[in-house]
A and B are shown apart, each in its own frame.
Chain A
Amino acid sequence: MSATIAEPRLVLAGQWTLFWWKFRRHRVAVAGLGVILALYLVAAFAEFLAPFPPDLPNTRYTYAPPQALHLFMDGAFAPHVLGYKVQIDPVAMRRVFVENPAERIPVRFLAEGPAYDMWGLFPMRTHLIGVDRPGQPLFLLGADRLGRDLLSRVLYATRVSLSIGLVGVTISLSLGVLLGGLSGYFGGAIDTIIQRLIELVRSIPTIPLWMGMAAAVPTSWPPLRTYFIITLIISLIGWTSLAREVRGKFLVLRHEDFITAARLDGLSDLAIIYQHMVPSFLSHIIAAVTLAIPGMILAETALSFLGIGLQPPIVSWGVLLQESQNIRAVASAPWLLFAPGAAVVTAVLALNFLGDGLRDAADPYA
């Protein structure tokens, strides 16, 4: 007998290799993967990447607009920004910032700046970019009402918003796989009860539910505890779709010939689940999880935007958007809206593209 496919590369390829080959063909998804990896790197190294701590005020520069980054000075590479002169607009009776060409503020790489604890563990002073003297303005994305650097705040918010997605999905996934698996594997009365529960949870309008639960969180709680409670509230809805996904896969797989063959081979139920069923739907679960994260991020953003989610001093994209929701900000400091908004859109789109690609590649044998 001759092998039907001559390429040894293909005949020896396991499921993850095939998965990757198929995923690779999905260009947009690969780009999405790149963006997501970059975003999570940002989240991981926010302290180092941000020029300032998120809550460092600079009262001279409240509502300072974004500065342009000049890369060259007199033909040589010397990144710098221009300082601001403050003038009073006599008509509008407000402060305006005018670039001062005479004041060139060099932007240093790996500069010593305000002290911070990397991951709360290692005391450090080095920032990716920084200025020479404390108090010098460096507002690449502008400043907020307290003169805090928006770039630094968005970078720190990335950590909170993206980790809410991950933690929330982890909770959803555990609940979903457990309940979905029970439902699909045992069937019968257990299945019926769990399915009715899922329908009940899904029939509750989410915004009022979140609002009610979030409103019940005492404002006196420390920020970290609020953060986990909010995550938990968001994932209480998210698990249902994952549970359905898992149950569906169990139901389909139970009647596959190769599962029957495994049972005839003498494998126990548990061994069948671990050796045959879980590997068969793992890739589908990864895709479903990826598609669930943007929902979590949006939910956090929505709650915080309404002012009932995370509260300052925690910075998340939702908190930043909430701070920008006043007429003054929209009219005279639109960057406060654009920067966190762009971050949310980028992350959600990239996760959706990635999830679509994963879903297509999830069954490499199709």
Chain B
Amino acid sequence: MPDPLLRIEDLRTHFFTPEGVVKSVDGVDLTVTPGRTLAVLGESGCGKSVTARSILKIVDRPGRLVSGRMLWTRPDGSIADLASLPPTGPAIRAIRGREIAMIFQEPMTSLGPITSIGDQISETILLHHPISKAEAKSRTIAMLRRVGIPDPEARIAAYPFQLSGGMRQRAMIALALCCAPRLLIADEPTTALDVTTQANILDLMRALQAEDGMAMLFITHDLGVVAEIADEVAVMYLGRVVEQASVDAIFHAPRHPYTRALLRSIPRPGSRARLEAIRGSIPHPLARPAGCAFAPRCDQAIPGLCDTTPPDAYPTEAGSVRCHLHA
């Protein structure tokens, strides 16, 4: 195993709302390896997006990083704990965008509406590199071409609203990758796209990763997308990683009852058998069950244990699983 690029240990990000403390991320451990893709899989409210935003310290109020460590390996080999950096200080700003970039589900959140896409990319390049404007422009055109935007010399002047959803997503990827980051965080980047566009964007991201060797942290709720893009998978449920393993192990030898149930609940091609749904629904974050959060919906839950004691993470052949059944 190569040295990790990013190691997250016991990350906790809580939201202090008038109704109570919402523990969106409550003890997450993750390891991102250089050049590989870690998919964070989970349903709404599991904390996958908050985890991603915590890494870049862009959690919105009333959210706050409560504890944990996020050890990031700088290009010079030194290690920085992102958790300890002030969210608006120069240290995190040097890393944000330059070393770790992020793309979102809705491109309009990161593309400014009143500046052409070319200018936005050029400005970002100039912000981090001491080069001339002309050189930045030619790099911008090259970047737009790399992400598959046709006729980049002309499109450099286009505004985001003039592009289709897929092209906008490509422009956002170009913006994120223009400084050759070592880690790209992608938060549901294809969820809002049509299936044929999604396929093209996934192809593009895979190809760019192969060329640049960057690592990816890919946040999604879609098992199909995970199977297409991930090397490693972390399954999250209610603020914790319940299982982490290689993508093959997740799909073919899942350990956690939640992972298994999730896989059984999706329609399979060619099969029209009745789906095995997970009973109940995801608990409200303010009414988090004691013990294992999945216990109330788990068929294998052990009364007196699973509903009282939160399980530790136990090692497996391919990773780890947070379940009493695997103690």
- Among the listed stretches A1-9, A74-82, A105-113, A307-315, which one makes contact with chain B, having 4 or more residues with CB under 8 Å of it? A1-9
Cross-chain contact of B296 among A2, A5, A25 (Cβ < 8 A): A2
Chain A, Cβ-Cβ closest to B45: A4
CA distance A2 to B297 in the complex (A): 10
B281: CB under 8 A from chain A?
A: yes
- Give the number of A-B contacts (CB < 8 Å): 18
Determine the distance from Cα of A10 to Cα of B281 in the docked complex, in whole angstroms.
18
Instruction: Assess whether B287 is in contact with A6, with CB atoms less than 8 Å apart.
Output: yes
Partner of B286, one of A2, A5, A25: A5
Q: In the complex, A10→B284 CA distance in Å?
A: 13
Taking a contact as CB atoms closer than 8 A, the residue among B18, B280, B281, B284 that contacts A6 in the complex is: B284
User: Does A2 contact B18, Cβ atoms closer than 8 Å?
Assistant: no
Q: Residues of A within 8 Å of B, CB-based: how many?
A: 7
Chain B binding surface, main DSSP class:
loop
What chain B residues lie within 8 Å of A10 (beta carbons)? Answer: 19
The CA of A160 and the CA of B298, in the complex, are separated in Å by 68
Within residues 192 to 217 of chain A, which ones have a CB less than 8 A from any CB in chain B?
none
**Closest beta carbon of chain A to B294's beta carbon, Å:** 13
In the complex, which residues of chain A have a beta carbon less than 8 angstroms from the beta carbon of B280? 1-2
A-chain residues with CB within 8 Å of residue B284 when the two chains form the complex: 4-6
Chain A 10-44, CB within 8 Å of chain B: the 1/0 string? 10000000000000010000000000000000000
Residue B62 lies at the interface, judged by CB distance under 8 Å to chain A: no
**Which residues of the other chain, A, contact B287 by a CB distance below 8 angstroms?**
4-6
- Measured between C-beta atoms, what is the minimum distance from A2 to chain B in Å? 6
Which of A2, A6, A10 counts the most B-chain CB atoms under 10 A from its CB? A2
The residue in chain B whose Cβ has the minimal distance to the Cβ of A10 is B19
CB distance from A19 to the nearest CB of B (A): 14
Interface residues of B in 3-31 (CB under 8 A from A): 18-19
Residues of B within 8 A of A (CB): 18-19, 280-284, 286-287, 296
Q: A5-B284, A25-B18 are in contact. List 16 more A-B contacts (CB 8 A).
A: A1-B280, A1-B281, A2-B280, A2-B281, A2-B283, A2-B296, A4-B281, A4-B282, A4-B283, A4-B284, A4-B287, A5-B286, A5-B287, A6-B284, A6-B287, A10-B19
Give the 5 A-B CB pairs with smallest separation, nearest first.
A4-B284, A6-B287, A5-B284, A2-B280, A25-B18
18 contacts between A and B (CB under 8 A): A1-B280, A1-B281, A2-B280, A2-B281, A2-B283, A2-B296, A4-B281, A4-B282, A4-B283, A4-B284, A4-B287, A5-B284, A5-B286, A5-B287, A6-B284, A6-B287, A10-B19, A25-B18
